[in-house]
């Protein structure tokens, strides 16, 4: 049995975050701590870190502009052969799955990380978005088995 | 995130970045990095060999420096990115706006073009 398979499927990680940029690093370190027993390949860890960084910086930077600060929920689990990251916030509606891919000129001209969602698409395998009860729910799956070919 | 600035010659500065170019890392080094690239009228070589991670905030920082240097008619060249960092640079087509060299010698050659 590989280290990944030895993780219990009901092992889950949950973290409440404040709407502050410094929370991204706290989330990253907590995620690494949670995933450490799985001994994932460096490439998978890179993909997890990149997805978490881009989605959280997007939520913190945009979701609550003009709105009262709120908490953001991040959860993670290893399900079958996927790392599953779930982001939940009650900020303004934003569906990154449907967001158009920026042109190179648009992204290069952006003052704040114009490539973020595009990078998530590149490094993740599947994304699901839903607006439910005034909350953005975003699930992102990173398949372990695609690492060898990506 | 660490930054080391050294003079290669009287017209070329080398900036070595070490660590993670994510939100936290960019926040720590951006002011010093932009100053290193734009002060003194020198061209800048940026050694990425010790950068272990880059996200869109890091891409934005590099593009900001490139724009500021273009206004000053100086050049910015990146060199020696690690494979995972290189993957991000390729996806974001950073090479369209900033030359990326395999090593320092090639980077110096691009400055001198």
Per-residue model confidence as pLDDT tens digits over A85-125: 999 999 999 999 998 888 777 777 766 557 899 999 999 99
Element (H, E) at A49: helix A42-58
Say if residue A4's pLDDT is above 70. Answer: no
Question: Tokens representing A71?
Answer: 């908490």
Using only C-alpha atoms, chain A has a radius of gyration, in whole angstroms, of 15
| pLDDT the model gives residue A149 | 47
% of chain B with per-residue pLDDT over 70:
100
Mean pLDDT, residues A129-144: 95
User: Given pLDDT bands bounded at 50, 70 and 90, which one contains residue A146?
Assistant: low
Question: pLDDT > 90: what percent of chain B?
Answer: 94
Six-digit token string for A105: 């000129």
Question: For residue A111, what pLDDT is reported?
Answer: 61
Nearest Cα residue in chain A from B22: A53
State ipTM: 0.92
Alpha-carbon gap, residue A65 to A72, rounded angstroms: 14
d(CA A95, CA A19): 19
Q: Do B56 and A57 touch (CB under 8 A)?
A: yes
User: Which pLDDT belongs to residue A62?
Assistant: 84
Per the CB < 8 A criterion, the answer to whether B15 and B4 are in contact is: yes
Burial of A57 (0-12, 13-18, 19+ CB in 10 A): buried
Strands lying side by side in the sheet with B2-7: B2-7, B12-21, B43-54, B76-79, B100-101
- For range B63-88, the mean pLDDT: 95
pTM recorded for the entire structure: 0.91
Q: Please tell me the predicted confidence (pLDDT) of residue A12.
A: 82
Given an 8 Å threshold on Cβ–Cβ distance, is A115 in contact with B53? no
- pLDDT for the residue A83: 94
The DSSP symbol for A138 reads E
pLDDT of B43 above 90: yes
Of B24, B84, B91, which is closest to A25 when you measure between CB atoms?
Answer: B24
Nearest-by-Cβ selection for A122 from B57, B63, B91: B91
Region A40-65: what's the mean pLDDT? 93
pLDDT digits (tens, 9 = 90+) for B21-35: 999 999 999 999 999
Contact A107 B96 (CB under 8 A): no
Q: Which chain A residue is nearest to residue B60, measuring alpha carbons?
A: A113
């Amino acid at each position: 049995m590989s280290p990944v398979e030895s993780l219990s499927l009901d092992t889950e990680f949950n973290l409440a975050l404040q709407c502050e940029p410094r929370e991204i690093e706290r989330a990253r370190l907590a995620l690494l701590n949670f995933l450490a027993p799985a001994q994932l390949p460096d490439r998978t860890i890179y993909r997890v870190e990149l997805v978490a960084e881009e989605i959280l910086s997007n939520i913190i930077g945009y979701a609550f502009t003009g709105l009262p600060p709120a908490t953001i929920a991040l959860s993670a689990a290893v399900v079958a052969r996927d790392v599953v990251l779930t982001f939940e916030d009650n900020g303004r509606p934003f569906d990154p799955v449907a967001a158009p891919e920026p042109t190179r000129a648009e992204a290069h001209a952006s003052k704040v990380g114009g490539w973020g969602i595009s990078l998530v698409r590149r490094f993740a395998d599947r994304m699901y978005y839903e607006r439910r009860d005034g909350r953005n729910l975003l699930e992102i799956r990173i398949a372990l088995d695609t690492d060898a070919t990506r | 995130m660490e930054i080391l600035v050294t003079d290669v010659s009287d017209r070329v500065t080398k900036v070595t970045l070490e660590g993670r170019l994510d939100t936290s890392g960019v926040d720590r080094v951006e002011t010093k990095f932009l100053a290193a690239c734009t002060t003194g009228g020198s061209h800048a070589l940026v050694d990425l060999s010790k950068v272990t991670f880059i996200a869109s905030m890091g891409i934005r920082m590099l593009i900001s420096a490139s724009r500021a240097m273009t206004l000053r008619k100086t050049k910015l060249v990146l060199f020696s990115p690690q494979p995972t960092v290189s993957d991000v640079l390729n996806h974001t087509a950073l090479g369209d706006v900033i030359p990326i060299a395999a090593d320092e010698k090639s980077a110096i050659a691009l400055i001198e073009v």
